[in-house]
Structure 1
Amino acid sequence: MTLPHTEASTSYGQPAIKTGGRMFVSSGHEAGSFHVRSPFAEKEVLIDTDPATFWQTPHYEGWPGLLVRYGTADANRVRLVVTRAWWDVASITRRKALGDRP
């Protein structure tokens, strides 16, 4: 909720965070984790390089998003992934205000 123009909302009946009505983080469907949008290429790299933090279930295969375990040791990396997710769904005007994609 610290990113610009974010609002608490819901997605498929679950708590979510949106910008401009577009979801980029949600509670997900797995205990101990939350869902964040991520382009397929980045999703693959995140899961391959840090499977203790980033993972997916069959439910998320073929979807541009992945699960993030709470309590990861690399909070800065998670923050970056969430900021990129915000940037990917934000309007062009809001993207320009933040700058280049992190």
Structure 2
Amino acid sequence: MKATGDDVRTVVASLPETTEQFAWGMPVFKVAGKLFLTLPEDETSMAVRCPIVDRDELVLAEPAKFWIATHEAGNPWVRVRLAALDDREELTAIITDSWRLAAPRALLEKTD
């Protein structure tokens, strides 16, 4: 799959209470005001929330797909190369997981 920033936007738009803004020179996406995804590197990758333990395992297992930006090393974020994703399901799963990590509990309860 050769995912694009537009593919990311389509998935994000399907999730409740999301907004797109522009910050730090790139598009950023929030749920209920809380950041859950950015589109750096000219929208060829995305940065998503991911628990550090899981993130480290992802990077070790699939370094061509996932990596950690130096300035995010101590934070629960992982970078994802959009062109390396297997399919739309994987893109959707990664974005939804990040959204769920940032969404308020009341919103999660309402959507589950």
Aligned-CA RMSD value: 1.7
Aligned counterpart for 1:5 among listed residues 2, 12, 17: 17
Which structure 2 segments of 5+ residues have no match? Answer: 1-12
Q: Structure 1, residues 4-32: CA drift from partner, whole Å, max 9, x if none?
A: 1111113434211111111101023x353
Aligned residue-pair number: 98
- TM-score of the aligned structures, taking structure 1 as reference length: 0.82
RCO higher in structure (CA 8 A, sep ≥6): 2
Task: Give the Cα separation in 1 of the matches to 2:20 and 2:85.
Answer: 26
The structure where helix makes up a greater share of residues is 2
2:28 alignment partner AA: A
Partner of residue 87, structure 1? 100
Q: Structure 1, residues 70-91: CA drift from partner, whole Å, max 9, x if none?
A: 1224232332121111111111
Does the aligned pair in 2 maintain the 1:11–1:23 contact within 8 Å?
no
Does the aligned pair in 1 maintain the 2:65–2:84 contact within 8 Å?
yes
1:23 alignment partner AA: L
Which structure 1 segments of 5+ residues have no match? Answer: none
Aligned counterpart for 2:54 among listed residues 42, 65, 84: 42
Q: Note the 1:2-81 alignment, pairs <5 A.
A: 2-28=14-40, 30-31=41-42, 32-75=44-87, 76-81=89-94
Instruction: Assess, with a 3 A threshold, how the Cα gap between structure 1 residues 82 and 92 changes in structure 2: closer, same or farther.
Output: same
Post-superposition offset of 1:49: 1.7
